[in-house]
Amino acid sequence: MSHIRRYTNLLPQPVRFGLRRLLFFGTARRCELCGNGVRGFAAHGGGFEVLDRRQVVGGMRRENDRCPVCHGCDRTRMMMMWLRDVAGLGGDHPPLDLLHVAPDYGLYLWLKRQKGLRYAASDIDPARYRHIPNMHAADLTAAPFADASFDIVICSHVLEHVPDDMQALREIRRILRPGGRALLLTPLALDGRGTEEDPSVTDPAERERRFGQWDHVRIYGREDFLDRITRAGLEATLWDPFAADRAEAERLGLNPLELLPIGRRPG
């Protein structure tokens, strides 16, 4: 199976998406993000001892959670719920400018169906996203956007890859408009032991052992992560989808342990 995946990964994302839609077609579940009916959702996450030991939400294994077509999962559906129910996407609102950093395909598919949204995306390696329009080559620590360009920035599971995360957070603040908000999702340890990071660790195997993935440079503690957001000049809050609408959060199959960090630029 791995050799098949290696070759199919060379295909453009829309082609791979179409193949997965045919391969996994069914009626047991419907993905809220891509709209496809599938035979069931797949497991994802886990695989490293540190993720369970440190109770890393966004890293521990989740069963029956990921859409096999668009690869959207609980955290992606949580962001969709916030964007729909709090930011008002899909309803009547003035046009919004949104930046999607390292865009995941499932959320992109949902966003492009929303009215009144001016969408832009960015990544340090934009060639991986040839299928996404208005894609910009961007280092998040030196974003190529003017001050106060965006109403919403989505930055999900990115900051744990960035050595200078404080500079990245300051850049996000800079490109947000006053009152604009950033969805700053990252794996967060709930064991109360704070953030684990060591810039000297560059070996992929050691990063897997220490941080839970070969290209991660840290595991954040939840309170420390909120403190970093605040020190970057943003107002930090945690949005609880179960407190907002428990029935909807359960219908979407969200993780009761996961809260959505929001950074708001004052003004």
Q: By residue range, what is the domain housing residue 176? A: 74-264
In a domain, 52, yes or no: no
In a domain, 58, yes or no: no
pLDDT grade for 4, boundaries at 50, 70 and 90? very low
CA 59 from centroid of its chain's CA atoms: 12
Q: pTM surpassing 0.95?
A: no
In a domain, 128, yes or no: yes
In a domain, 12, yes or no: no
In a domain, 248, yes or no: yes
CA atoms 87, 173, 215, 239: torsion sign: negative
Q: For residues 123 and 129, give the distance between their C-alpha atoms in angstroms, rounded to a whole number.
A: 8
Looking at the 3D structure of the chain, how many domains does it have?
Answer: 1
Any idea what the CATH number is for the domain that residue 241 is in? Answer: 3.40.50.150
In a domain, 60, yes or no: no
For residue 198, what are the CA distances in angstroms to 54, 97, 109, 260?
Answer: 17, 36, 36, 25
The helix (H) or strand (E) run that includes residue 238 is: strand 235-239
Q: For residues 68 and 187, give the distance between their C-alpha atoms in angstroms, rounded to a whole number.
A: 21
In a domain, 50, yes or no: no
Residue-wise pLDDT for 23-59, tens only, equals 888 999 999 999 999 999 999 999 899 999 999 999 9
In a domain, 227, yes or no: yes
